Amino acid sequence: MKDRDQAVGYAKIPARQPGAGIRGQDFVSMSGGAVRVLNPFSKNPRLAWDLLAFMHSAAATKSQLAGQVRISARADVNDEVLTADPMLKYIADEVLPLTAYRPGVAVYPQVSAALQEATAAVVSGKTADEAATAYQSALEDIVGGAANISG
């Protein structure tokens, strides 16, 4: 969308009510993605740590981006590479500080897909109530019933 930054505004997703988000926040966000870890049973923990530190360095992160404008795990890199993209800069500056990280459980990708479907339903013209009802039903199917859902 050529005029995205003029035609579209950006807003955080509000919690069900003020203060009802994770950590008592007024807004909510879930993030996830790839992670690199140090094996606690490594025979060379110092070398493994050095490699991990290099892989997460600013230079390596910028190299991995290869000139693409994407949010990274490093605020210093984001400050440098996101200056030309107001939407990604907004997300990095305003949303990432309040995000929670998705649970590392096997069914979470299904939960994520159901949430994406609910969002698509609203964008396609369904009411928020219709999308929320369908999402609730899908979520109950995924996690084995309403008793396994809190919130």
For residue range 2-12, what is the model confidence (pLDDT) as tens digits?
898 888 889 99
pTM over 0.75: no
Across the chain, how many H-helices and E-strands are there? Answer: 7, 4
Q: For position 8, what pLDDT does the model report?
A: 87
- What gap in Å lies between CA 145 and CA 94, rounded to an integer? 34
Question: Hey, which residues does 122 pair with through a beta bridge?
Answer: none
Alpha helices by DSSP H, listed for 29-127, are: 45-55, 58-65, 75-81, 86-90, 108-123
Q: Is 55 exposed, middle or buried (0-12, 13-18, 19+ CB in 10 A)?
A: exposed
3-state DSSP helix/strand/coil % of the chain, to nearest 5: 55, 5, 40
Pairing of strands 27-28, 100-101: unpaired
Q: For position 151, what pLDDT does the model report?
A: 62
What percent of the chain has a predicted confidence (pLDDT) above 70? Answer: 98
pLDDT beyond 80 at 104: no
Residue 56: what residue type? H
Question: Hey, which residues does 30 pair with through a beta bridge?
Answer: 100
* Mean pLDDT over the full length of the chain: 90
Phi and psi for 30 in degrees, rounded to 5? -120, 135
Q: For position 114, what pLDDT does the model report?
A: 93
pLDDT beyond 80 at 35: no
